Amino acid sequence: MAVPSIIYNKTEEINSVSINIHLVPPKHPAVVHQLIFLLLLQVLLVLEVIMLRRSGAQTRRCWLEIQQSRYLSSAPAPPELRRLHYPASSRSRQGQAGQESGQLSPAQINRILKANEHSHTLPRGPASHGVLGFHSNTLPSNHPSEDRRSSATCLLGRGGVLFGVFDGHAGPSCAQAISQRLFYYFTVAMLPLRTLQELDRAVEEDRAVPPLLEWHKHPQDHSSLDGGAISFHSLRNYWQERLDEDDEEDNEGQYNNIAGLRVSIPGEGFSLSSPLRVALSGSTACVVHVSNGVLHVANLGDSRAVLGVQEGDGRWSALSLTNDHSAQNPEELQRILGEHPASERKTVVRHDRLLGLLLPFRAFGDVRFKWSPEMLSRLYDTRPDVLSAVSESVRTLPPHYLTPPYLSAQPEVTRHLMKPADKFLVLATDGLWELMHRQTVVQLVGDHVAGQETSGPADTTLGSLQRLLLERRDRVQSVLEDQNVATHLLRHALGDDGYGSVDQNRLARMLSLPADLARRYRDDITITVIHLNDL
């Protein structure tokens, strides 16, 4: 039996498509249906190529191949780190978007998705510490966005590269302060005491202090110029505390000492970055330090760090390096309950929230879950100016506020020695993990990095075949459009059709939701994908 064939004459522009059909009368009538199916399949594939070329997709080659179908979630679950509690994603917000908004054009969709994308390549060699570079993006839901991100190279001591994502609540003030100031505390915590002594002498003698960090920022990332003197004063207080210690701790002790760091809040003010506004709002944080092939991840809250590991057979596995600090983590729930009297067992956590109000059980700021009732009452009585500028939810004592503090700012710190199979690390706020499972995230990044495409389910009906081809076209277009893999994740998180492809209508509806509705269906989303292993 001869198979129908199609000749595709490829030049810089498509000039012609010729179809040569050579059929030998089949011995069995059922074979006729197979021949017709194969012919239609090849015609549709050629039409797909034509659509892609006419839509402006830039590619020099076309591979016309329908791969065997596989789901993104079909790979076996990777072995978990001990004590990891990592609930599955919820797609309820995404599924409810429905028809509540109008449609956006592909150009408008791309402008929204790419507005905050950022990438940076590190120089090859030991100075990269095993980091090739990173892709990052952030998509707001709140206005203004309460998410923040940071990335920087440490310039003193043994060096390294720092990355962080910060998910604010009750306003952006705390997340903003943390994103600008926390890396300095990490750096000072890791510097030898001799270097700190030199820094302190330079300040005393009014000499220039060498920079601690080289920041890698997107031009549109938020930055606050006020409060610089207060921030530096607080940082110097911290390194002087280290200098006053009797003996120098080893490196691991320095990492564990990060757990005691906090954003100090001396002084007063009324701007967005004023200490009281920072203290009254809150923020989770997930920060990674990469140095000489060693990862240290410090996490508090429900943002996550997930490692993409390429197995020997080429498959991708997701290795979680963080725990969620929420009611979904049984050990974290027991920790909270064990820190307060048995008489409060029914009020410390209500409806899976701290005192019935706050989802994360660890966060910076949020002093209304930390300070004594007397301090909070004094604040409420004496600073109506600051209270008038913050949300109503933080202006009164929480219910059943009996034995504070209820909220911790102590992170969990995880150490991981990089292996050749560790290809990338995904840092993201909970807005991503609410929409996508970690294995799906790693599979999408792995396929994007490898330049591969994943296929949806295939069957033998023409309707399903047409849908498959449209999905393949959309995947090819999204890969070509999204050189930034964080943008690629955003596109799939909001437009996922359930088969690993992007439903353009769903994506348009999710992005066109008005400001007063967007927060009901999705959170702010911030993603940084760190490409590893240049050792």
- Report the CATH number that the domain containing residue 135 is assigned in CATH: 3.60.40.10
364 belongs to a structural domain:
no
Beta strands in 312-352 (DSSP E): 316-320, 349-350
Query: Which residues in 106-115 are b (16+ Cβ under 10 Å) and which e?
Result: eeebbebbbe
CA distance 348 to 333: 10
CB 512 within 8 A of CB 103: yes
Q: Return the residue matching tokens 């954003």.
A: 263
Instruction: Summarize pLDDT for 472-502 with one digit per residue, the tens.
Output: 555 555 445 689 999 999 999 999 988 888 9
Cα 335 to its chain centre, rounded Å, is 26
Per the structure, the complete domain to which residue 498 belongs is given by 106-243+273-309+421-454+463-532
The 8-class DSSP code of residue 528 comes to E
The two tokens of residue 365 are 């700021």
Contact between residue 529 and residue 135 where contact means Cβ atoms under 8 Å apart: yes
pLDDT tens sequence across 26-55: 555 555 555 565 556 565 555 554 554 444
Is residue 361 very low, low, confident or very high in pLDDT (cuts 50, 70, 90)? very high
CA nearest neighbour of 525 among 173, 171, 147: 147
Selected residue with higher pLDDT from 127 and 19: 127
Residue 329 included in any domain:
no
Q: How far apart are CA 370 and CA 390, in angstroms?
A: 18
Q: Find the mean pLDDT for residues 354-362.
A: 96
Check pLDDT > 80 for residue 191.
Answer: yes
pLDDT band at 15 (very low <50, low <70, confident <90, very high): very low
Q: Is 534 exposed, middle or buried (0-12, 13-18, 19+ CB in 10 A)?
A: middle
Q: How many residues does the chain have?
A: 535
User: Which range is least confidently modeled, 137-151, 242-256, 261-275?
Assistant: 261-275
Which alpha helices (DSSP H) does 98-162 contain, by range? 106-114
Query: Is 25 inside any structural domain?
Result: no
What is the number of structural domains in the chain?
Answer: 1
* 361 within a domain of the structure (yes/no): no
Select from 497, 422, 517, 499 the least CA-distant residue to 455. 499
Q: What's the pLDDT tens digit per position in 305-314?
A: 999 999 999 9
Q: Is residue 181 part of a domain?
A: yes
Residue 62: predicted pLDDT: 33
The pair phi, psi for residue 385, each rounded to 5°, is: -65, -45
Residue 58 maps to a domain: no
Peptide bond into 457 cis (omega under 30): no
Cis preceding linkage at 411, omega within 30: no
Per-residue pLDDT band at 526 (split at 50, 70, 90): very high
- What's the 3-state SS for 378-405? HHHHHCHHHHCCCCHHHCCCCCCCCCCC
With H, G, I as helix, E, B as strand and everything else as coil, classify residue 455.
Answer: coil
Angle between helices 504-511 and 106-114 (to 10 degrees): 60
For residue 453, give the DSSP letter: -
Asked if residue 91 has pLDDT above 50, the reply is no
The pTM of the full predicted model, rounded to 2 decimals, is: 0.74
CA distance 386 to 109: 38
Assess if residue 373 is contained within a domain.
no
Amino acid, single-letter form, for residue 432: L
375 membership: H or E segment, kind and range: helix 373-382
Bridge partner residues of 425 (DSSP): 307, 530
What local confidence, expressed as pLDDT, does residue 168 receive?
95
- CA gap 371, 377 in Å, rounded: 10
Where does the pLDDT of residue 348 fall: very low under 50, low under 70, confident under 90, or very high at 90 and above?
very high
Q: Are 445 and 452 in contact (CB under 8 A)?
A: no
Q: Phi/psi at 528 (nearest 5 deg)? A: -130, 120
Half-sphere exposure of 17 (CA within 13 A, CB side): 13
Domain membership of residue 13 (yes or no) is no
Report angle CA 223, 144, 508 to the nearest 5 degrees.
120
